[in-house]
Amino acid sequence: MRVLYYDIDTLRPDHLRCYGYHRNTSSNIDSIANEGVMFTKCFASDTPCLPSRASLFSGRFGIHTGVVNHGGEAADMKLEGKDRPFGIGNNFGWITSFRRAGYHTVSISPFAERHAAWWFYEGFNEMVNTGKCGGERADEIVPIAIDWLDEHGDGDNWFLHINVWDPHTPYRTPMEYGNPFEDEAAPDWIDDDIIKAQYNNYGPHGAHETPAHPTFPRMLPEIKDTNDYKRWIDAYDTGIWYADMFLGKIVEKLKALGIYDDTMIVISSDHGENHGELNIYGDHQTADYITSRVPMIIKMPGVKGGRIDDALHYQCDVGATITELLGGKVNPRWDGEAFTEAFNKEEENGRDYLVVSHCAWSCQRSVIFDKYIMIKTYHDGLKDFPEYMLFDIENDPHEQHNLAEDRPDIIQKGKAYLNEWYDEMMRTSKDGVDPLRTTIMEGGPLHTRGMLDSYCKRLEETGRGKLAEKLRNKYNK
């Protein structure tokens, strides 16, 4: 078996045509989805970038790996301590499981350097650092993969991980490609009234202060109305379109080598991206539905295509399942649970509920169950969040109507699930330390830590002095 894993950073599934998007952002991804299995409710257990890939590649949740933040103690894997063996022993992750199953493993990605995450290299025979710490475009990464395929593609039993970054800010698609969506309407869930309310509120990367970048003309410094929103979302969608175009070049190479039909292709991401939801634009700052949900598509030789799996899965559950499909061994220490038998029978076998976490911009844990997501905020990261939020994600996927006060019964059910999960995580924790608590004790999530005074000054300078006073009073409590 040959395996190609196309890892598109910051890709929310509802901006792909195969997941129901109205724009043609993803013709190559859509074609592969038509030949494979598309998972509609797949979630990263921990977000954003560093915690997400730590969970996927280790097979464990952040509460067990210790990696939940982007800096500080909770950005490093927990030490193995006195029981650490000379080598990797039985403490192996996803890629090592492929190695042990006889695969030659390769990664083309700047991820380890970007996040000083050297554990990321565990299990890879070959590692190519593309050298720009995530600032690369697909045209700087995919040609390296194509060269590797030219030299090694006709061999057997390889696993090739290709990591592209184009949907991540700053939006970097070369301007000569123009705007493929200039004549297409933006998503219609947002309107000028919503944007106005957001613009007059506060929060890092909100409508009043999007993550602009002076050297990238597709970026905007603020979103004042739906005209700005359209330009903003066009830029994000163009990044997806660009990453998809280069996936097409890889597919062309696989077909030219005569190995496309014999290659397993997996397409996924590390997290989604908010574009107005919870007043966050172009970033991944919460444990909400939009940031935590990831695309997951698997095309596998001998497996019926055009299937849709609507069950609840962690991304690391899918990782454990792929491991078994490739003849590897699932480490009993993993939190990811394989559903291989159901997959082979074309059935669904998901979880009753999921708990997802975020600690880099805010500190939150959320429970996804039935048709709801309940978000508990432990540290709001300078945002206008109450302690509990509850959204009906079937009818309100963009999280506009907080039902927490109206549905205390659903909140209680979510709390019960969260407590059940937490007790199990602590029971199975080696050291009994919750890295979310570590993050709070250190001063909060990395990206907003120590920023209260400077952000309040920003509010005052932009005519929002009353909000600065409100924020200071909130934190001084």
Average predicted confidence (pLDDT) for the chain: 97
What is the full DSSP assignment across 367-380? EEETTEEEEEEEE-
**Given pLDDT bands bounded at 50, 70 and 90, which one contains residue 88?**
confident
For 376-413, how does the pLDDT look when each residue is reduced to its tens digit (9 = 90+)?
A: 999 999 999 999 999 999 999 999 999 999 999 999 99
Work out the pLDDT band at 158, boundaries 50, 70, 90.
very high
**How many domains in the chain?**
1
Give the Å distances, CA to CA, from 367 to 305, 352, 356.
Answer: 31, 11, 7
* Residue 29, domain member (yes or no): yes
What whole-number distance in Å separates Cα of residue 303 and Cα of residue 410? 38
For the chain, give the percent of residues with pLDDT over 90. Answer: 96
- Axis crossing angle, helix 226-256 with helix 27-35, rounded to the nearest 10: 60
Q: What is the C-alpha to C-alpha distance for residues 447 and 204, in angstroms, rounded to an integer? A: 9
Range of the domain at 100: 2-353
pLDDT of the residue at 7: 98
- What are the helix and strand counts (H, E) for the chain? 15, 17
Q: In this structure, is residue 450 part of a structural domain?
A: no
Q: What pLDDT does 53 receive?
A: 98
Contact predicate 68/46, CB 8 Å: yes
- Is residue 381 in some structural domain? no
Judge whether residue 102 has pLDDT over 80.
yes
Query: For the residues 312-334, what does the mean pLDDT come to?
Result: 96
Look at residues 101, 472, 117 and name the one whose alpha carbon lies nearest to residue 323.
101
Q: What is the domain-level CATH number for residue 90? A: 3.40.720.10
Report the phi/psi class of residue 173: left, alpha or beta, with left for phi > 0 and alpha for psi in -120 to 50: beta
Other Cβ atoms closer than 10 A to 212: 14
> Average pLDDT in the 38-55 region?
98
**What's the pLDDT band for 436 if we cut at 50, 70, 90?**
very high
pLDDT at residue number 239: 98
Mean predicted confidence (pLDDT) in 3-25: 98
Residue 398 located in a structural domain: no
Position 150 confidence tier, pLDDT thresholds 50, 70, 90: very high
How many Å apart are CA 90 and CA 84, to the nearest integer? Answer: 10
**180, 195, 161: which is closest to 25 by C-alpha?**
180
pLDDT for 413 equals 98
Q: Which amino acid is at 455?
A: Y
pLDDT interval class at 459 (50, 70, 90): very high
- Measure Cα distances from 248 to 255, 382, 386 in Å: 11, 41, 44
Residue-wise pLDDT tens digits, 15-31: 999 999 999 999 999 99
Q: What percent of the chain has pLDDT over 70?
A: 100
Mean pLDDT, residues 330-334:
95
Is residue 6 in some structural domain?
yes
pLDDT at 140: 98
Q: Do the beta carbons of residue 29 and residue 267 sit within 8 Å?
A: yes
What pLDDT score does 202 carry? Answer: 97
Residue 374's pLDDT is 98
pTM above 0.95, yes or no: yes
The helix (run of H) or strand (run of E) holding residue 97 is helix 94-100
Establish if 451 belongs to a structural domain.
no
pLDDT of residue 171: 97
The tokens describing 445, both together, are: 């999530």
Residue 469 lies in a domain: no
Q: How far is residue 94's CA from residue 55's CA, in Å, rounded to a whole number?
A: 10
pLDDT of residue 83: 85
Confirm whether 88 is domain-assigned. yes
Q: Is residue 1 a contact partner of residue 272, using CB atoms and an 8 Å limit?
A: no
- What was the pLDDT predicted at 212? 83
| Burial class of residue 349 in the structure, from the number of CB atoms within 10 Å of its CB (0-12 exposed, 13-18 middle, 19+ buried) | middle
pLDDT band for 214, please (50, 70, 90 cuts). Answer: confident
Lowest mean pLDDT among 209-223, 290-304, 311-325, 455-469: 209-223
Residue 80 has a pLDDT of 87
